[in-house]
Amino acid sequence: MISIEEALELVLAHLPAKRMEEIDFQSSLGRVLAERVIATGNAPVRLKCVGEIRAGGGLVLRIGPGEAAAIMTGAPVPEGADAVQIVELTERSGDGQYVVIQKPVSLGANIAPMGCEARAGETVLEAGRCVGPAEIAVLATFGASRVKVYARPRVALIATGDELVEVEDTPRPGQIRNSNAYSLSGQLRLMGLEPEYLGIARDEKGELRRLMLDGLQRDVLILTGGVSMGEYDLVKEVFEELGLQILFTRVAMKPGKPTVFARKGGKLVFGLPGNPVSTFVSFENFVRPALGRICGFARTELPRIKGDLLSEMKQKPGRTAFLPAWVEWEEDHWSIEPLPWKGSADIIGFSRSNAAVIFPGSRDCLRRGEIVEAMLLPDFVLRSRGSA
């Protein structure tokens, strides 16, 4: 059994090289730029009109001494003009031929000189920048209708176990509905990835092998279930038959101890535990960092905060635990309230949290009022807003 830090180091050391692709700039939202974007130096065309300059059209007008013209927001300032006064501080004559400037205006006031944001040839977006709405506007401003971004990996999901039935089916005695594939799909979609769900692999080597061969056609394959001590031999046998290099099989983490990581060439395979909270926690600690880096992100782990623990917590030492909690910002500090739950199968209890307290494996007790660390969940903002 290895530590979380050692396991993550192994995962990150075996990532495939990032790939680039060129896409329409409007499709780049949430993607990472693979090359810088530079200012092209294009400026709006100056157009003339008699006494009025409109944004996007009209005639170019020259302003001489003692002259003025109405100008609309966003229009090019005409030659000869040295300041713009806001309309609220002006008054036009009845026939519109004259304007009174009611208050003095300083030289250059209310004028944005061409090139003040960026000069031609200047970098406006660095490679490695995540594209948000503001970056979309920058791309549009400089005519970057096609951009190069890091390609997203193709991800396949397989659930395993004879006990599983699909959501629309009624479980018989000894059966449960498959939830892990859908929680994983949600976690992946929050990262901007659309996984391919390949179905349920029964506890039979031939079927597991068939589905895994299909999954290995993608860049990353995630299996859930079938990796605990009682079940791992079957998965291990299929892994070895398919020529996978197994890099670790157990991690000193609670929940999520029986987490498996393997690779075949540039393909990554994660075997996550079957209990739903274990699956969730293992994904966030190992799969998210791997996929995020493949997508070009420099920092991919979930944010962590430190705050005041509001209730005492106890555990058997030996493994680092991730336990459900509710965190809130209160004036000048974070408060962290542990939540009751019934273990790694209790997804209902875990669903009430917006964070997970990180309980060090070397400790058996965290006391009330102690400063502890918590990992914010991927949908922290949505959870914390609550409902109206």
Domain identity same for 261 and 338: no
Q: Which residues pair with 148 in a beta bridge?
A: 22
**How far apart are alpha carbons 88 and 221 in whole angstroms?**
63
Query: What's the average model confidence in pLDDT over 104-112?
Result: 64
Query: What's the average model confidence in pLDDT over 249-256?
Result: 95
DSSP 171-210: PPTT-EE--HHHHHHHHHHHTT---EEEEEEPS-HHHHHH
Query: What's the average model confidence in pLDDT over 287-298?
Result: 96
CATH number at residue 320: 2.40.340.10
Task: Tell me the helix, strand and coil percentages in the chain, rounded to 5.
Answer: 20, 30, 50
pTM across the whole model: 0.79
Instruction: Count how many domains the chain has.
Output: 4
Q: Which of 58, 93, 113 marks a domain boundary?
A: 113
- Rg over alpha carbons for the chain, rounded to the nearest Å, is 29
On average, the pLDDT of the chain sits at: 86
Domain identity same for 103 and 207: no
**Domain hosting residue 334, numbered range:** 304-385
Query: What's the average model confidence in pLDDT over 206-226?
Result: 93
CATH number at residue 214: 3.40.980.10
Domain identity same for 145 and 199: no
Domain identity same for 251 and 308: no
Domain identity same for 37 and 54: no
Domain identity same for 82 and 163: no
Query: What's the average model confidence in pLDDT over 323-347?
Result: 93
Strand 176-177 versus strand 164-165 pairing type: parallel
Query: What's the average model confidence in pLDDT over 281-296?
Result: 97
Q: Which residues pair with 324 in a beta bridge?
A: 356
Domain identity same for 144 and 221: no
Residue % of the chain over a pLDDT of 70: 84
Given pLDDT bands bounded at 50, 70 and 90, which one contains residue 61? low
Domain identity same for 219 and 238: yes
| Phi and psi, residue 271, nearest 5° | -105, 110
Residue-wise pLDDT for 121-134, tens only, equals 688 899 999 999 99
Domain identity same for 180 and 238: yes
Residue-wise pLDDT for 144-202, tens only, equals 899 999 999 999 999 998 888 898 999 899 888 999 999 999 999 999 999 999 999 98
Of 133-147, 166-180, 276-290, give the range with the top mean pLDDT. 276-290
Given pLDDT bands bounded at 50, 70 and 90, which one contains residue 44? very low
CATH number at residue 130: 3.90.105.10
Residue 299 lies in a domain: no
CB burial of 4-22 (b: ≥16 within 10 Å; e: otherwise) equals beebbeebeeebeeeeeee
The letter for the amino acid at 65 is P
CATH number at residue 90: 2.170.190.11
Residue 388: its pLDDT value, please?
Answer: 41
CA angle 227, 158, 180 (to 5 degrees): 75
With H, G, I as helix, E, B as strand and everything else as coil, classify residue 291. Answer: helix
Residue 277 lies in a domain: yes
Domain identity same for 268 and 179: yes
Domain identity same for 273 and 213: yes
